[in-house]
Structure 1
Amino acid sequence: MASSALQRLVRFVPRSSPSKILIGQPADKDIDVGAALRKGQEVTVNVWSGSSVLSPGSSTGITETIDRVLSPLAQNEIGTIRCVGLNYRKHAAECGLDPPAIPVIFMKPATTIVDPWPARGTIPKLSQVDESGDYEAELAVVIGKTAKNVSEAEALDYVLGYTAANDVSSRTQQLNQSQWSFSKSFDGACPLGPTLVLKSLITDPTKLHMRGLKNGEVYQESGTDDLIFSVPKIISWLSQGTTLPPGTVIVTGTPAGVGMGRTPKDALRHGDEFAVEILPHIGTLTNIFENEKSGFMTKLWPWDLGSQFAKARGYRVIAIENREAGLRLASGSPSNLQSDLILKLDDPETIQKISDFTDGIGLKVTIVCTSEDAANDWAAQRLQPRGVLVAAGFPEHGLKFDLMNLILREIFVKGTVHCSMGETREMMKSVVQHGIRSHLTLLTMEEAEDIAAKSEAHTFMGGPVVIRNALFSEYLPPHVGMRQPCSFELFEHPVGISTAIFWNHWPGGAFKSLACY
């Protein structure tokens, strides 16, 4: 183990020899290594003889300047990253959830590890398409010796030290299912470092102060005393019946202020800089994020499905959008699903352009790709379609009512929608106010077994889908991907609309599936 003189470790590439990787202790005991490097300042390190922070060796008496700082541990030293979800009281409150009774555990592979700045964080294709990337400032614990079946009282004896982490998440994918690992396991989804502070310097991990800063603005701020499950409790819990080898990284949860919980929601986008600051001693982990350039989209996205529905019936399609990212995505639809006209919501000539495009006849099909209620009202009051406005979602797509909250004359809903009770009630108020009719395609339970494959096939031209007798079933429709007990509520409305809301409770929240008919 490390000498008592060793308190903070960095793993780095020295300026004098770019082919080497060294470890050592910053010469300035108080320097914030990450912040200093981000400002372009020189950081000198007293080099130690070991090749890993797990066995640092002894001081060599040599001083080197950091050329590039690395994560404290290499990917092959870490193995599987253990993560705790919903572990800050105020974060649970912002999610509208009760604190969990036991730790909510998920895993990230070592391939998620990315070095601190100048290494870039990655926003995967799946997060780009609906801007669902999110940040999570977190305290990370590194295990220093093999732990199994340890008690809370002895848990800190197994800790090597502490560092900073960013549990980068894809919220749409996270909300699509009860197990979060997929949504948090994309390559580069766990920036880590830069400084590993040994437990001799941080004797009480509940006395740290953490901030998450996006583009220099404080988005998250909390003391680690807001943790629901303490570091000793987490280590003890994870070690029950399970070996935690040296190098195990445990990411302990994020405080309130995540992008998903803000109003309006704030995604992690290309070019954003996010910093995790943990004081005292640990310092700042910074990364600039960029879009993944490879990869593929695995599903048709909402405007594509809407276009598919409309074009199958011989309609031309007008898409109205107000976000630059949305305009780019709408323009990038497959050629057979391209909208015939794409307009910006705030263009003062939009109405005239629609009139010119339709030779003064008016609208039959319009896809409005925006989550703003004002835009939805504008669509109902200004566009005044003669025929149908089409909103399209698909099974397990976590758009909530970002798309489905449209004020439509007639709703065709394909698939399911994830929503909160409040969002549901607001949506239904709009439905009643505007006298909207809506339709569903009913399937038997036997036919529902392969509904996911059917509904996502390019040849699927049907409309909305709901499972007949689902209200009386013990289980959610199979295409949701879960078979768990649920209950339901049924609302009746004066315009003859009823809404079935299926509730499925799982650790970390409630899954809701909405269907209007």
Structure 2
Amino acid sequence: MASSALQRLVRFVPRSSPSKILIGQPADKDIDVGAALRQGQEVAVNVWSGSSVLSPGSSTGTTETIDRILSPLAQNEIGTIRCVGLNYRKHAAECGLDPPAIPVIFMKPATTIVDPWPARGTIPKLSQVDESGDYEAELAVVIGKTAKNVSEAEALDYVLGYTAANDVSSRTQQLNQSQWSFSKSFDGACPLGPTLVLKSLITDPTKLHMRGLKNGEVYQESGTDDLIFSVPKIISWLSQGTTLPPGTVIVTGTPAGVGMGRTPKDALRHGDEFAVEILPHIGTLTNIFENEKSSFMTKLYHYLSSALMNQPDLVLKLDDPETIQKISDFTGGIGLKATIVCTSDDAASDWAAQRLQPRGILVAAGFPERGLKFDPMNLILREIFVKGTVHGSMGETREMMEFAVQHGIRSHLTLLTMEEAEDIAAKSEAHAFIGRPVVKIGMH
């Protein structure tokens, strides 16, 4: 690592440039980043040159203010999240179970990762039916270098740092099956962050204090010394015969006080706020939870949001008279590498396609009631690769947006009319998220 002074890292969108994602160290070494942002305070960050907490680079000497906080790791850096169940003695007792003899392991996909507040946690439809959604405050470990067949004695050498997580679960589905992954793998079921504290600052992960607060009331509280299997034991166990690459997230278990163990039982409901507080150093992870919505618009929002969080290198409005010149200047006159089009405006769609460079990628995300129309000859002559069809069904749109994210498309342009952007925001009930990036770049 470039400097021993680097102890805490955050990943964020700066107020000065909402099209960028930066990493850096909070300027105030003692600030609880998550709590401060939730209270409306400004948080200054000393920016580092790297693009990932896995390779932070060096200090740039500049300071930025957080506009939006992100999880410490992007979904494409994480792979599969390893989780440990029944790993606190008092939690095993509240479940009426004996402490396990070996670690109970399950996995969550990277699609469960959710940024800290203001990003929303999601209660899936399966949990809404019988109010079986539940929270789990947990300590998360991030692996910093490739680990395989490591011993307990050397396990902490492979740790990059620690952060907070919420292992959101659907209890009915969990108890109906012998395997837990399905019940804990819904989209948005693993809020993570906001601060990654490096192991140089947390030398003993058994000396942390954790609380889980639902709507401001303490529901979970424990020291990490109640862990059945220590962090070194967990890392060593998971690495036997298995490679843990850098960026691997290990969620280490939850203490007593989960909703399922309370009398009467409690559940996560629409509008609930849950906070995971781990002290010292890590701070608070907060999310407000909302019911998963059944509409196409919800799917569109999540995948459009994911694409935007990869951040376009260029954000434009069609009514800007300098738009074409800006594209030319930005691309050296050859056009954009890829464009994500999400609009029912045929003129805007065709306009975007024409600004692609030869053999560019057109990701077409249409609406279910109608499709997108392009000049086929223009696309064929320039060998434009079109991902998707003009029908724009929900499944196709999901595939298209995933394609953009998975292929790391960065030179892209997202187009919506103002009316469409406002309609999406209204139907998704997520003005704070889709409203800011989408309406801001919509055309008038």
Fold equivalence (TM over 0.5): yes
Q: Structure 1 residue 198: deviation in Å?
A: 0.0
Q: Structure 1 residue 3: deviation in Å?
A: 1.9
- Determine the C-alpha separation between the residues in 2 that align with 1:431 and 1:62: 31
Once structures 1 and 2 are overlaid, which stretch shifts more, 424-433 or 11-20?
Answer: 424-433
Which of 385, 389, 392 aligns to 2:365? It is 392
CA RMSD of aligned residues (A): 20.4
CA deviations 1:448-485 (Å, max 9, x no partner) are: 9999999999999999999xxxxxxxxxxxxxxxxxxx
Aligned to 1:368: 341
Q: Structure 1 residue 289: deviation in Å?
A: 0.1
- Where structure 1 has 5 or more consecutive residues not aligned to the other structure, the ranges are 300-330, 467-512
- Whether the 8 Å contact between 1:392 and 1:413 is mirrored in structure 2 is no
Task: Give the SS at the match of 1:361.
Answer: coil
Q: Structure 1 residue 424: deviation in Å?
A: 48
Aligned to 2:266: 266
- Determine the C-alpha separation between the residues in 1 that align with 2:49 and 2:405: 73
Once structures 1 and 2 are overlaid, which stretch shifts more, 343-352 or 96-105?
Answer: 343-352
Change (3 A) 1:346 1:217: farther
Q: Structure 1 residue 294: deviation in Å?
A: 1.9
CA deviations 1:410-453 (Å, max 9, x no partner) are: 99999999999999999999999999999999999999999999
Change (3 A) 1:61 1:102: same
- Whether the 8 Å contact between 1:144 and 1:247 is mirrored in structure 2 is yes
- Whether the 8 Å contact between 2:149 and 2:240 is mirrored in structure 1 is yes
- Determine the C-alpha separation between the residues in 2 that align with 1:230 and 1:104: 13
Change (3 A) 1:357 1:290: same
Which of 317, 329, 334 aligns to 2:308? It is 334
- Whether the 8 Å contact between 1:407 and 1:431 is mirrored in structure 2 is no
TM-score, length-scaled by structure 1:
0.58
- Whether the 8 Å contact between 1:125 and 1:297 is mirrored in structure 2 is no
Q: Structure 1 residue 290: deviation in Å?
A: 0.2
- Determine the C-alpha separation between the residues in 1 that align with 2:74 and 2:161: 15
Q: Structure 1 residue 56: deviation in Å?
A: 0.1
TM-score, length-scaled by structure 2:
0.67
Once structures 1 and 2 are overlaid, which stretch shifts more, 282-291 or 422-431?
Answer: 422-431
Change (3 A) 1:137 1:402: farther
Once structures 1 and 2 are overlaid, which stretch shifts more, 394-403 or 347-356?
Answer: 347-356
Change (3 A) 1:76 1:426: closer
Which protein is bigger by CA-based radius of gyration?
Answer: 1
Task: Give the SS at the match of 2:63.
Answer: strand
- Whether the 8 Å contact between 2:319 and 2:443 is mirrored in structure 1 is no
Once structures 1 and 2 are overlaid, which stretch shifts more, 205-214 or 448-457?
Answer: 448-457
- Whether the 8 Å contact between 2:140 and 2:162 is mirrored in structure 1 is yes
- Whether the 8 Å contact between 1:370 and 1:402 is mirrored in structure 2 is no
Change (3 A) 1:89 1:65: same
* More relative contact order, 1 or 2 (CA 8 Å, 6+ apart): 2
Task: Give the SS at the match of 1:210.
Answer: strand
- Whether the 8 Å contact between 1:6 and 1:25 is mirrored in structure 2 is yes
Number of equivalent positions: 439
Change (3 A) 1:107 1:441: closer
- Whether the 8 Å contact between 1:72 and 1:194 is mirrored in structure 2 is yes
- Whether the 8 Å contact between 1:210 and 1:223 is mirrored in structure 2 is yes
- Where structure 2 has 5 or more consecutive residues not aligned to the other structure, the ranges are 300-304
Change (3 A) 1:350 1:230: same
- Determine the C-alpha separation between the residues in 1 that align with 2:92 and 2:375: 22
- Determine the C-alpha separation between the residues in 2 that align with 1:50 and 1:415: 34
- Whether the 8 Å contact between 1:391 and 1:406 is mirrored in structure 2 is no
- Whether the 8 Å contact between 1:379 and 1:407 is mirrored in structure 2 is no
- Determine the C-alpha separation between the residues in 2 that align with 1:62 and 1:385: 38
Q: Structure 1 residue 183: deviation in Å?
A: 0.2
- Determine the C-alpha separation between the residues in 2 that align with 1:86 and 1:228: 8
Task: Give the SS at the match of 1:353.
Answer: helix
- Whether the 8 Å contact between 2:19 and 2:313 is mirrored in structure 1 is no
CA deviations 1:48-83 (Å, max 9, x no partner) are: 000000000000000000000000000000000000
